[in-house]
Structure 1
Amino acid sequence: MMRLTVYLAGEIHSSWREEIKQKAEALKLPIDFVGPMEDHDRSDLIGEEILGKQPNAVFRDAAASSFNNLRTEVLMNKADVVIALFGEKYKQWNTAMDASAAVSLGKPLILIRPEELHHPLKELSRKANATVETVDQAMKALAYIFE
């Protein structure tokens, strides 16, 4: 049976990825999940870990961003599908960047966003292959691929 690799783009502060993984397992979907570094401290400090102490926060962020972007690009290029979740609570700049990168790379994109974010995400939504409002709807879309 075919396996898919799915990149899960979105905020790293809530457990939405675990919910998707559990639902995929319950549905017995042959999916491997990848995504951004979910350990926030590791993500913020990776530049200094690799390059050494940086002179200030701006340089520290720039160094970390280089390695986080490298990681994201490699994993997204290996992905068959990208799911980008826009929640209601956290700032969503990285989600927007990752969803746009998926579109640019020609990766199939499922956008999850609440109805309240319809207007600010209307252009990105039109570029996605599918736009849904819930994790359950995204899982149904993934399951449909295997039928």
Structure 2
Amino acid sequence: MGLNIYLSGEIHTDWRKQIIDGCAGSDFVFSSAVTDHDASDAAGDVLGAEESGFWRDHKSAKVNAIRTKTLIERCDVAIIRFGDKYKQWNAAFDAGYCAALGKPYITLHGEDIVHPLKEVDASAYAWATTPQQIVDILNYLVSSQ
């Protein structure tokens, strides 16, 4: 059984690579939001230049949302990563969207942010603290044992 896995959230560490590498040989298809920060911020630039940063961000967010919405709707399970350095409001939004669609999702974050993520974790099917735990869960999902 193959699974379509959506990787959402923090873009400043290699957690995605760790999961993808750890699942090598499994029948998984991985997708993600654009993880190049500058490219993501410029997604709306094709619609014309903006003098205001607000409107540039607004247009780019909408273009990025097309990708995110489509990939979440197509996925079988989402992994939602919250990192230490930045607030990932987009990840919280993705988790809420998964919950609204009834898509199973797993959160990935440290113990130090359990309290601010209590509502997000309450709807998650699992909470992991390491990419290896995610690899183990995903491999379990497709095991025949």
Pairwise TM-score range, normalised by the shorter structure: over 0.9
- Conservation of the 8 A alpha-carbon contact between 2:4 and 2:30: yes
Measured in 1, the distance between the counterparts of 2:88 and 2:55 equals: 22
Structure 1 residue ranges (4+ consecutive) displaced by more than 3 angstroms after TM superposition: none
2:23 aligned partner: 24
Q: Which residue of 1 aligns with 2:34?
A: 37
Identical columns (%):
40
What's 2:10 paired with? 11
**Letter of the aligned partner of 1:22 in structure 2?**
D
> Where does the alignment leave 5 or more consecutive residues of structure 2 unmatched?
none
Match of 1:89 among 61, 85, 89: 85
Query: Does the CA-based 8 Å contact 2:18-2:132 persist in structure 1?
Result: no
AA matched with 2:31: V
Query: Residues 36-75 of structure 1: CA distance to partner in whole angstroms, max 9, x if unpaired?
Result: 11121111111112x1112311111111011001110011
Question: C-alpha root-mean-square deviation of aligned residues, in Å?
Answer: 1.1
Q: How many residues align?
A: 143
1:48 aligns with: 45
Between the aligned partners of 1:125 and 1:78, the Cα distance in structure 2 is 22
Q: Deviation string for 1:74-133 (max 9, x for gaps)?
A: 111111100001122222211111111111111111111111111111121110011121
Amino acid at match of 1:42: A
Match for residue 133 of structure 1 among 104, 107, 129: 129
Q: Which residue of 1 aligns with 2:57?
A: 61
- Residue 95 of structure 2 corresponds to 99
Residue 6 of structure 1 aligns to a residue whose secondary structure is strand
| Aligned residues of 2:2 and 2:142 also touching (Cα < 8 A) | no
TM-score w.r.t. length of structure 1: 0.92
Mapped contact 2:34–2:40 kept (Cα < 8 A)? yes
What stretches of structure 1 of length at least 5 have no aligned partner?
none
